[in-house]
Amino acid sequence: MSVHHTPVARRSLLLSIAGWALAGPALAETAVKLPPPGDAAATGTAAVETAVFAGGCFWGVQAIFQHTKGVQQAVSGYTGGRKDNAFYEAVSEGTTGHAEAVQVSFDPRQVSYGRLLQIFFSVAHDPTQLNRQGPDTGTQYRSALFTTSAVQKATAERYIAQLDAAKLFPAKIVTAVVPLKAFYPAEDRHQDYATRHPDADYIVAYDQPKIDNFRAMLPELYRAAPALVRVGSSS
């Protein structure tokens, strides 16, 4: 069962029943201080590039990239499956082929794809977990990089090899690197979720710690004001 797929009220009840003393320490967010890729300098010439990251529940991944300098927009959505099943209730079943993902639009003159990879692997998720993150399980929560160019693919594969060779994680990185075919934005209620619901139990337990780790570990890339998709929507 995935805690993420219950409504907020139901999720709060489940966590209360389980007990924060057990749920908190057992599923605490961790971060790993990682070196940047060898080609991490921001040297792009285009005004905007896009990249797609999948690493568990899209609420937290979106929040991390919304707090990243040089990111213009980060949109929660689905990728890996068909257009007709790219909606939350279907993806939640774990049988559509989709992953919860975030499409990041960024200015490569301010932040490189390599630095986005550093953030993704350091603080956004645990890249050694196969088909799960925190309390969420299923292929829809897999770790994957959906690349939009040959350059992104090569950069991602080199960085994963660099990190594995350095043995900076207790296990081998399982993150898949695959070409992006299509990205489908998620429903409005899932956009800017961490900002709009900062007191939700799930956000407090699993996503705010990611943001705190980001601010502490990579302050040169962190910005306090998130780049929001939309403001003031209802859940």
- Residues assigned a catalytic role: 57
CB count within 10 Å of CB 63 equals 25
Decide: 160 and 172 in contact? Cβ < 8 Å. no
Alpha-helical segments (H) within the chain: 8-18, 20-26, 58-66, 88-91, 113-119, 150-166, 193-196, 201-202, 208-217
Q: How far apart are CA 60 and CA 185, in angstroms?
A: 16
- DSSP conformation class of 223: -
Question: Which backbone phi and psi does 70 adopt, to 5 degrees?
Answer: 90, -10
